[in-house]
Amino acid sequence: QVPFTVLQGEGVEYLGHANDAVIAISNYRLHIKFKDSVINVPLRMMESVECRDMFQLHIVCKDSKVIRCHFSTFKQCQEWLKRLTRAIARPAKPEDLFAFAYHAWCLGVCIDEEDQHAHLCRPGDHVRYRFQMELVRMGFDLQNVWRVSDINNNYKLCSSYPQKLLVPVWITDKELENVASFRSWKRIPVVVYRHVRNGAVIARCSQPEISWWGWRNADDEYLVTSIAKACALNPGVKVSGGVLHSGSSDGSEACDADFDSSLTACSGVENAGAPQKLLILDARSYTAAVANRAKGGGCECEEYYPNCEVVFMGMANIHSIRNSFQYLRAVCSQVPDPSNWLSALESTKWLQHLSVMLKAAVLVSSAVDREGRPVLVHCSDGWDRTPQIVALAKILLDPYYRTMEGFQVLVESDWLDFGHKFGDRCGHQEKVEDQNEQCPVFLQWLDAVHQLLKQFPCLFEFNEAFLVKLVQHTYSCLYGTFLGNSPCEREMHNIYKRTCSVWSLLRAGNKNFHNLLYMPGSEQVLHPVCHVRALHLWTAVYLPASSPHPLGQEDMDIYLPPGSQSQDFSGRCLDRLPKTRSMDDLLSACDSSSPLTRTSSDPNLNNHCQEVRAGLE
The reply, when asked if residue 379 is annotated as ligand binding, is yes
Closest among 179, 280, 163, 275 to 223, alpha carbons compared: 179
In degrees and rounded to multiples of 5, residue 86 shows phi and psi of: -65, -40
Sign of CA dihedral 315, 318, 323, 324: positive
The residues pairing with 37 across neighbouring beta strands, listed in sequence order, are: 550
Is 318 known to sit in a ligand binding site? yes
Among the listed residues 379, 426, 500, 609, the single catalytic one is 379
Query: Is 294 assigned a ligand-binding role in the annotation?
Result: yes
379 catalytic? Reply is yes
Q: Burial letters for 499-530: b for 16+ Cβ neighbours within 10 Å, e otherwise?
A: bbbbbbbbbbebebbbbeebeeeeebbbbbbb
| 8 Å CB contact between 209 and 378 | no
Residue 494 burial class via C-beta count within 10 angstroms: exposed 0-12, middle 13-18, buried 19 and up: exposed
Please choose, from the candidates 414, 482, 439, 507, the residue with its C-alpha nearest in 3D space to the C-alpha of residue 99: 482
Crossing angle of helices 385-397/441-455, nearest 10°?
A: 20
Helix/strand/coil (H, E, C) string of 336-348?
CCCCCHHHHHHHH
The reply to whether 229 sits in an annotated binding site is no
Helical segments of 456-549, H only: 464-476, 487-492, 495-498, 539-542
Q: Where are the alpha helices (DSSP H) in 90-165?
A: 98-108, 113-116, 125-128, 130-137
The verdict on whether residue 381 carries a ligand-binding annotation is yes
Instruction: Please state the separation of Cα 89 from the chain's center in Å.
Output: 24
- Write the CB contacts of 502 (distance below 8 Å, at least 6 apart in sequence): 470, 473, 479, 481, 482
Strands, DSSP E only, in 534-605? Answer: 549-550
What is d(CA 457, CA 386) in angstroms, rounded to the nearest whole number? Answer: 26
Phi, psi (degrees; rounded to nearest 5) at 287: -60, -45
3-state secondary structure of 247: strand
Q: Is residue 384 part of an annotated ligand binding site?
A: yes
292 annotated to a ligand binding site: yes
**Residue 512 marked as a ligand binder:** no
Q: Give me the helix-helix angle, 350-369 and 341-348, nearest 10°.
A: 60
Pairwise CA distance, residues 159 & 484, whole Å: 12
144 is in an annotated binding site: no
C-beta atoms surrounding 250 within 10 Å: 11
DSSP string, 525-542: PEE----GGG----HHHH
Task: Give whole-number Cα distances, 516 to 178, 447, 458, 463, 528, in Å.
Answer: 51, 20, 8, 8, 21
| Residue 118 identity | A
Nearest to 415 by CA among 501, 486, 488, 475: 486
Nearest of 224, 198, 204 to residue 139 by alpha carbon: 198
Tell me if 185 is assigned to a ligand binding site. no
| Residue 380 counted as an annotated binding residue | yes
Known binding-site residues equal 292-295, 317-318, 379-385
Known binding-site residues for substrate equal 292-295, 317-318, 379-385
What are the residue numbers of the active site?
379
